[in-house]
Structure 1
Amino acid sequence: MHVRVLVRLKPGVLDPQGRAVHHALEGLGFSGIADVRVGRLIELDLADGTDHATIRQMCEQLLANTVIESYTIEAPAAGGAD
């Protein structure tokens, strides 16, 4: 089963990479950009039937730093989404 985990910095946490992208876009002449936040996408191919709790545990223990990041799990309908 294919699962996608989107990890983002929590609101209020400084995003230096987002600021750099914002500055670069303005430097290229793009206007009207209020803010840029950069996250990461992690794609996992797991054994069929891997339960949602196990995927959450992977996120909590390794894939996301839950102090400063939040995550969203995109899994087949049976696994639900976080």
Structure 2
Amino acid sequence: MPNEAGGIDAAPFHVDARGMKCPWPVLRAARAMRDTDHVTIDADDAIASGELAALAQQHGWQFSALSPQRFALSKAPA
């Protein structure tokens, strides 16, 4: 996907956290956030969406629910 500078953004880093109970999905997402600007995560723990939204807010990232068990976190545009 082209970015504002005309370059190509890398595909999102994907985390499969299905079957993991919080805080593990959030910890996996936080670790991935260190190395990329976009993270998608599959998580089926009932509280994962709220925890991931809080993580994104804490770091100034955007959060979106792509489906009931798939979420996206991305760096907010500068």
Fold similarity call, TM over 0.5: no
Larger Rg over CA atoms: 1
TM-score (norm 1): 0.30
Q: Which structure carries more relative contact order (alpha carbon 8 Å, separation 6+)?
A: 1
TM-score (norm 2): 0.31
